[in-house]
Structure 1
Amino acid sequence: MSERFSVVTPIDGSELCSREYASSAEIATAVQAAQAAQAPWFELGLAARKAKIAAAIDWLVTHKDEVAAAITHSMGRPISQSPGEVKGLEERARYMLSIADAALADIVPEEKAGFKRFLRREPVGLVLVMAPWNYPFLTAVNAIVPALAAGNVVLLKHSSQTPQVAELFQAAFDAAGLPAGVFQSLHMNHADTDALLQSDAVDFVAFTGSVNGGHQVQAAISKRFIGAGLELGGKDPAYVRADADVASAAENLVDGSFFNSGQSCCGIERIYVHESVYEPFLQEFVRVTKQYRLGNPTDANTNLGPMVRSSAADFVRAQIAEAVAQGAKSLVDEAEFPASQAGTAYLAPHVLADVTHDMRVMREESFGPVVGIMAVKDDAEAIRLMNDSDYGLTASIWTQDAAAAEALAAKIATGTVFMNRCDYLDPALAWTGVKDTGHGISLSELGYAQLTRIKSYHLRVA
């Protein structure tokens, strides 16, 4: 008998649904179907593949209310915000389809008399996409769409917190008429996932999740020469310079810190502010933070929902309590957010001042609604502190001097640098990171590179 698992909704701690993990036999059957489908899918041609993928995206957009409800009930994002994920999914998917012809085109070097020479991108084969719960559609689509467009077949293993999302993806691709075996979603436990990674079945793995999870994936494939894209989280910093528009910076950084209850790999978790604007920035940041309405995410008036589970909220509470005990000052009274209750997934947004890098809250990924804010004396100190992290996904600089921002950006160890914006992903740019954030690239033309292998053609014609 297959192992069964339950999904507990953070809304009230009740069981949302239950599912069975795929058996070893079911996984083997899915792999066989995928491998049999790959060559015919590639031979179908890029135009036909793009049309079917676009039809699947159309289906998800048409079913946006069902998509939004799945997000809200499974991980707690307010229903007033969940539909935005469909908009983001559509933007990324359609962009990646629009550049597929150029990204997958032959690369032709300079002419050489008597020879025809070119490089061609071919699909790697079977791509295993391992997607997380926090942005369950957006993170998955980053790999699914370009993988399929390039002629690969895909197995989707979604978080056990969001099985309904995997099923909606399956329904979309089925409705679009993809041939059997080209896209399949499987609910898999950790042991079977590890065994699949170690087998000869998978040709590339795209994983988004924790650093520990990334290490497990890396270990599982260590005896095989296959590629992996690993996006593993962040502790993303912002720097507010002396010349920044303080009101705009505070408003945007509040959103970057607390949207999705801070459960974003590129969310803002630490802010460095030039000492000359530190106090006015703090005041404005706290003022905007207090406008949040924490509550049941199915209420249209709620704009801050619960964290994914009570244990995650308890982890953040412990970081906050420890920082306060070490001298940090909490600037938001939790009593102003009555829904915030110990032992539940509901946690008020927390703003901490007088923090230092000796505190866990400034060094350890929080993945929750808390941010630490420090005063700095100059650009050099800000850069030093921004780089004092095990992570490097994104960083933002808030200034009216674009030249200064570009110069500072060159000194930051990170995958993306923003000026006067944050917590955003542009599908035309490479999504990547350094240090414990992982390795690999998704989106942009470069995102197709890791999902294909290069074959060189060297033909003597005369």
Structure 2
Amino acid sequence: MTAKVQLISPVDGRVYVERQCADAAQIEQALVAAATAQEHWKRRPLNERAVLCNAAVDAMLSMQDQIVPELAWQMGRPVRFGAGELRGFAERARYMIAIAADALAAVEPEPISGFRRTIKREPLGTVLVVAPWNYPYLTAVNTIIPALMAGNSVILKHATQTLLVGERFAEALRRAHLPTGLFHNLLLDHRQTAAIIASGRVQQVNFTGSVQAGVAMEAAAMGRFIGMGLELGGKDPAYVRADANLEHAVENLVDGSFFNSGQSCCAIERIYVDHSLYPAFVERFVALTGQYVLGNPLDEATTLGPLVSPSAAEFVRGQIAQALAQGARALIDPAAFAADVPGSAYMAPQVLVDVTHQMSVMREESFGPVVGIMPVAGDEQAIALMNDSQFGLSASLWTQDLAAAERLGDELATGTVFMNRCDYLDPALAWTGVKHSGRGITLSRLGYEHLTRAKSFHLRHEV
């Protein structure tokens, strides 16, 4: 008998939906059907794939009125922000569809008389997408649409906390009349997911989640020689230089720290500010943070919803308590946020100063509404502190000097360097990480290289 999964809503702690995990027969059927359908799909002209994928995007957008409150109930994002994820979903999907012809085009080396030399891009086969709950549409679409455009079949294993998102993907692709068997949404437990990876019957795994889960994914794939795309943790830093536009930096870094209750891989979790701006920056940062409205995410007035679970909130509260015991100061009074209830998923944002890199809150991923702010003497100290981390997903520089941003960016151990913005994915750029933030690439034309294999043709036609 398969396990039953209960989705506990962070809104009120009650069961929102429940489903059965896929059984062995369903998994086997999906693997067989995906492989069979892919053999036909890879021969479909690219323009036909594009029509179907664009239709799937349209179908998903048509469900917005149902999706937005579902997101609030499943993972706590305020309804006033729910449509934003769908806009990002559409932007990424449409971009990857639009560039597919160029990204997948054959490479023709310099001609040599008597020879035809070509490098073609061939689909891998079946791609397993293991998607997280925090940005459940954005993270999943990064792979699903490009994988289909490249000629692959897809099996989606979505987080149990956002299991309805997987069902929405299946419905959108069904409405778009995607060929039967090409896409499967399976509700799986960890053991079943590992077994699929270890079976060798998927040719690529794209996973977004924790470092520990990434280690388990790689262990399951050992000896199978399949591709692994891993977007793991983050502890993303920001550096506010002396020449920064102070108001712009404060406004965007507050948002980058606390949007989605800080539950983003590329959320700002630590900020280094030039000592000359530090007092004014902290004062304005705290004032703006105090304007958040913590409450029920189904209320249009709410700008800060609950964390995904009480245990997630308790982890962040524990980091804060530990930092305070080590000498940090908290600048936000949780009592100012009536909805903040110890032991619940509802947690006020927090700003910490007098922090050091000996504190967990400045070194370990928080994934919640807390940020530490430190003064620095200049570029050299800032870069050293920014790089003093096991993670390297994104980093932001706040300056009016483009040349300085490029120079400092070259010194940062990170996947993406931002200047005067943060917490954003541009689909034209490679989304990648270094160190414990993972490996592999999604988005951009480079993302297609990880969803295809190169096949070289060396044809001598004059003998």
Superposed pair shares fold, TM > 0.5: yes
1:329 counterpart = 2:329? yes
In the alignment, is the contact (CA less than 8 A) between 2:133 and 2:161 conserved in 1?
yes
Residue in 1 aligned with 2:90?
A: 90
Q: Secondary structure of 2:160's partner? A: coil
Amino acid at match of 1:409: G
**Residue type at the aligned position of 1:291:** Q
- Superposed CA deviations along residues 153-203 of structure 1, whole A, max 9, x for unmatched, are 000000011110000000000010011111110001111111110002110
Runs of 4+ in structure 1 displaced over 2 angstroms? Answer: none
- Corresponding residue of 2:99: 99
Cross-structure match for 1:274? 274
Q: Distance in 2 between matches of 1:63 and 1:6?
A: 23
Structure 1, unpaired ranges of 5+: none
1:352-405 C-alpha deviation (Å, 9 max, x unpaired): 001000000000000000000000011000000000000000000001111111
RMSD, matched Cα: 0.5
CA distance in 2, matches of 1:139, 1:107: 29
Structure 1 residue 352 corresponds to structure 2 residue 355: no
2:22 is the counterpart of 1:22 = yes
Deviation per CA, 1:96-152, whole angstroms, max 9, x where unpaired? 000000000000000010011100000000000000000000000000011000000
Whole-Å Cα distance in 1 between the matches of residues 177 and 458 of structure 2? 37
Counterpart of 2:7? 7
Partner of 1:417: 417
Structure 2 match to 1:233 = 233
Q: Counterparts of 1:267 and 1:85 in 2: how far apart (Å)?
A: 15
Say which SS state the counterpart of residue 367 (structure 1) adopts.
coil
Paired AA for residue 42 in structure 1: K
Question: Residue 303 of structure 2 aligns with which residue?
Answer: 303
User: Structure 2 matches for 1:213-224, cutoff 5 A?
Assistant: 213-224=213-224
Amino acid at match of 1:23: D
Which residue identity does 1:62 align to in structure 2?
Answer: S
Partner SS for 2:161: coil
Aligned residue identity for 1:44: R
SS at match of 1:456: strand
Note the C-alpha offset of 1:338. Answer: 0.9
User: 1-side partners of 2:200 and 2:382: how far apart?
Assistant: 47
CA distance in 1, matches of 2:83, 2:212: 31
Q: Does the 8 Å contact 2:200/2:226 carry over to 1?
A: no
Aligned equivalent of 2:206? 206
List aligned pairs for 1:142-153, cutoff 5 A.
Answer: 142-153=142-153
1:178: which partner in 2?
178
**Equivalent position amino acid for 2:121 in 1:** R
The alignment partner of 1:162 has SS state of: helix
Matched, 1:63 2:83: no
C-alpha distance in structure 1 between counterparts of 2:289 and 2:301, whole Å: 16
* Equivalence for 2:396: 396
- Counterpart of 1:79? 79
1:97-176 equivalences in 2 (<5 Å): 97-176=97-176
Given that residues 355 and 374 in structure 2 are in contact (C-alpha distance below 8 angstroms), is that contact kept between their aligned partners in structure 1? yes
1:427 and 2:427 correspond: yes
Other structure's SS at 2:238 match = strand
TM-fit CA distance, 1:461:
1.3
Residue identity in the other structure for 1:289: T
CA distance in 1, matches of 2:106, 2:400: 42
* Alpha-carbon distance between aligned partners in 1 of 2:7 and 2:226, rounded to the nearest angstrom: 32
Residue matched to 1:319: 319
Taking the aligned partners of 1:65 and 1:130, their CA distance within structure 2 comes to: 25
For 1:167 and 1:185, locate their aligned partners in 2 and report how far apart those are by CA, in whole Å: 7
Alignment match, 1:437: 437
Deviations 1:221-245 (A, max 9, x none): 0111111100002000000001111
TM (norm. structure 1) is 1.00
CA distance in 2, matches of 1:266, 1:243: 24
Give the aligned residue type for 1:146: P
Letter in 2 for 1:266: C
Amino acid in structure 1 at the alignment position of 2:243: D
Distance 2:387 2:418 in 1: 15
For 2:28, give the aligned amino acid.
Answer: A
Structure 1 counterpart SS, 2:412: coil
Q: 1:161 is paired with a residue of what secondary structure?
A: helix
SS at match of 1:145: helix
Letter matched to residue 30 of structure 2:
A
Identical aligned residues as a percent: 57
Deviations 1:51-81 (A, max 9, x none): 1011000001111121212211100000000
Q: Which amino acid aligns with 2:183?
A: F
CA–CA separation in structure 1 for the residues paired with 2:129 and 2:413:
27
Report the equivalent of 1:380: 380
Residues in 1 aligned to 2:299 and 2:204: alpha-carbon distance in whole angstroms: 41
Report the number of matched residues. Answer: 462
Q: Residue 29 of structure 1: SS of its match in structure 2?
A: helix
Amino acid at match of 2:225: F
Q: Which residue of 1 aligns with 2:251?
A: 251
In the alignment, the residues of structure 2 paired with residue 210 and residue 69 of structure 1 have an alpha-carbon distance, to the nearest angstrom, of: 26
